[in-house]
């Protein structure tokens, strides 16, 4: 017995559409890694300076976009100053999408240039990270809008790694996630938190276990946790219903496949 | 005899490599300042590489179109979109991307990119159904681990039975974490050896020759 591929895919699609149209608000257990991310940001004194790397593009947006939005809600709410950059080429296109959802001016009275700045895409991966942490002004002279960074109040006294109270990144790339550990933690001894896709958790979590990452937001589950903790429910909490439905269906498929295999094997023998 | 095409890149690599090492392990200002300049050059060079990539894309797909190879029309769409994005970007935005550019991105590229990634869910579901079968002892181990991780990752199960979350954490911790650290330590030692070989000129693969 073999269920056709089309049937399985159609059932998966249905299992996604039902909770998407009709969110059920299924229970959620907040994981330790997301709780640690939240606590790390929460315990920073008001006005702390955070370096934030938006390192994902359109492919990662459904998984990482909601978590990034929740993260910024928490940071702006706490009155932190955020220096944003992108080590992913598409990060510059994610920035307006995310800011349209966070609305820092309306929601928190934050002002661009005073409370946050965006440098745009900086090529080079780890070289860019090392450059920003080493000497910002040697690498960046203007922000994404073309303003001289020395004219922005948020940049007053911010020159390099020692001036960042926290380094945060959310990325679809293992190299970028590990790069911030190597440059932010190992080279410059800064506290680092990271966000990644669920499928990357196995390779990034060891850095969390050793304390090199103080918090880890893993994929849509981590994003839903953060939305819950920051009390800003959004797409991730809805998506966790979808995840519950579709993954339960996958478990049923696995069970059906195995039962069919053993029945067939029993019949043959 | 001096081979300039080989020796000059090797000398540059050696000098920059030594400065990088001294920057990392010492606090001598001259090395830190010099390496800051080198890092900035690296960023600029990698930005140029993006332009080079665009030119290469134009060459490869231009040839496919001119020779009318299989599926050449996909190449035509790719180049057309590349030029549309470049032209709109240049016209509507000097520093920040303009509304038209954002609309193009949000209406075309964002849904396509998200769809490409999301479609994986369907193939993974089918793959799990086809492959995860407890045929042998080893397959049964893989099957059990996979099922426990899926259950631990499905939000509703740990919320109802927290034990599943802790089982997943245990699999990710001592088992996966231990194995991954072993791999990373191996990779790290390999990288140190490769770095030393590159610094002293024994590794020349990056020059495009053996």
| Residue B101 pLDDT greater than 60, yes or no | yes
Q: Inter-chain contact B147–A251, Cβ cutoff 8 Å? A: yes
| Residue B1 pLDDT greater than 80, yes or no | no
Confidence band of A1 (pLDDT split at 50, 70, 90):
low
Could you give the ipTM of this predicted complex?
0.81
Confidence band of B210 (pLDDT split at 50, 70, 90):
low
Backbone phi and psi for residue A250, each to the nearest 5 degrees, phi listed first: -60, -40
Residues from chain A contacting residue B99 (CB–CB below 8 Å)? none
Q: Is A157 helix (H, G, I), strand (E, B) or coil?
A: coil
**Domain segments of chain A as ranges:** 1-26+236-269, 31-233
**d(C-alpha A238, C-alpha A222), whole Å:** 13
- Give B159-199 pLDDT, tens digit per residue: 899 999 899 989 988 888 889 889 989 999 999 999 999 98
- Give A150-204 pLDDT, tens digit per residue: 999 999 999 999 999 999 999 999 999 999 999 999 999 999 999 999 889 888 9
Q: For chain A, how far is it from start to end, CA to CA, in angstroms?
A: 16
Interface size A-B, in CB pairs within 8 Å, comes to 174
Secondary structure, 3-state, B63-120: HHHHCCCCCHHHHHHHHHHHHHHHHHHHHHCCCCCCHHHHHHHHHHHHHHHHHHHHCH
| Residue A268 pLDDT greater than 80, yes or no | no
Q: Inter-chain contact B113–A58, Cβ cutoff 8 Å? A: yes
What pLDDT does residue B99 have?
Answer: 83
- The CA distance from A46 to the nearest CA of chain B, in Å, is 30
Residues from chain A contacting residue B153 (CB–CB below 8 Å)? 198, 221, 243, 247
What pLDDT does residue A36 have?
Answer: 97
| Residue B114 pLDDT greater than 90, yes or no | no
- Give A198-241 pLDDT, tens digit per residue: 889 888 999 999 999 999 999 899 999 999 999 999 889 988 88
- Give A22-52 pLDDT, tens digit per residue: 888 788 888 899 999 999 999 999 999 999 9
For residue B160, give the chain A residue with the closest CA: A27
| Residue B94 pLDDT greater than 70, yes or no | no
Contacts of A95 by beta carbon, 8 Å cutoff, 6+ apart: A54, A84, A86, A118, A120, A144
Q: Which CATH class is domain A31-233?
A: alpha beta
């Amino acid at each position: 017995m073999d269920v056709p591929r089309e049937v399985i895919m159609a059932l998966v699609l249905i299992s996604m559409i039902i909770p998407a149209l009709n969110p059920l608000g299924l229970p959620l257990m907040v994981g330790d890694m997301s709780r640690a991310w939240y606590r790390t940001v929460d315990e920073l004194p008001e006005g702390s300076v955070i370096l934030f790397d938006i390192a994902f593009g359109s492919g990662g947006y459904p998984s990482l976009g909601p978590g990034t939005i929740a993260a910024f809600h928490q940071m702006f709410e706490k009155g932190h100053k955020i220096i944003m950059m992108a080590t992913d080429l598409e990060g510059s296109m994610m920035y307006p999408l995310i800011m349209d959802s966070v609305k820092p001016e309306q929601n928190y009275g934050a002002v661009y240039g005073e409370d946050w700045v965006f440098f745009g895409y900086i090529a080079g991966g780890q070289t860019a990270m090392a450059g920003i942490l080493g000497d910002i002004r040697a690498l960046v002279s203007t922000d994404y809008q073309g303003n001289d960074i020395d004219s922005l109040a948020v940049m007053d006294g911010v020159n390099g790694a020692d001036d960042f109270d926290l380094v945060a990144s959310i990325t679809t790339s293992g190299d970028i996630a590990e790069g911030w550990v190597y440059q932010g933690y190992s080279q410059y001894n800064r506290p680092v938190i990271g966000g990644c896709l669920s499928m990357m958790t196995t390779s990034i979590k060891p850095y969390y276990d050793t304390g090199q990452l103080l918090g880890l937001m893993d994929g849509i589950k981590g994003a839903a946790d953060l939305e819950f903790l920051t009390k800003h429910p959004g797409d991730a909490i809805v998506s966790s219903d979808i995840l519950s439905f579709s993954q339960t269906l996958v478990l049923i498929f696995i069970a059906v496949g195995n039962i069919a295999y053993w029945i067939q094997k029993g019949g043959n023998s | 005899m001096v081979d300039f095409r080989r020796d000059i890149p090797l000398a540059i690599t050696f000098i920059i490599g030594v400065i990088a090492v001294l920057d990392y392990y010492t606090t001598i200002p001259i090395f830190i300042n010099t390496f800051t300049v080198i890092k900035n050059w690296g960023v600029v060079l990698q930005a140029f590489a993006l332009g080079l990539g665009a030119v290469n894309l134009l060459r490869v797909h231009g040839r496919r179109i001119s020779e009318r190879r299989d599926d050449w029309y996909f190449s035509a769409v790719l180049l057309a979109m590349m030029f549309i994005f470049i032209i709109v970007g240049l016209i509507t935005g000097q520093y920040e991307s303009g509304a038209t550019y954002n609309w193009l991105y949000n209406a075309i590229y964002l849904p396509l990119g998200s769809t490409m990634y999301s479609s994986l869910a369907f193939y993974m579901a089918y793959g799990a159904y086809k492959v995860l079968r407890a045929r042998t002892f080893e397959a049964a181990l893989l099957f059990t681990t996979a099922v426990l991780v899926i259950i631990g990752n499905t939000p509703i199960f740990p919320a109802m039975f927290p034990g599943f979350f802790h089982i997943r954490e245990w699999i990710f911790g001592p088992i996966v974490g231990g194995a991954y650290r072993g791999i990373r330590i191996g990779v790290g030692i390999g990288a140190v050896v490769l770095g030393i070989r590159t610094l002293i000129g024994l590794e020349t693969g990056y020059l495009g020759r053996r």
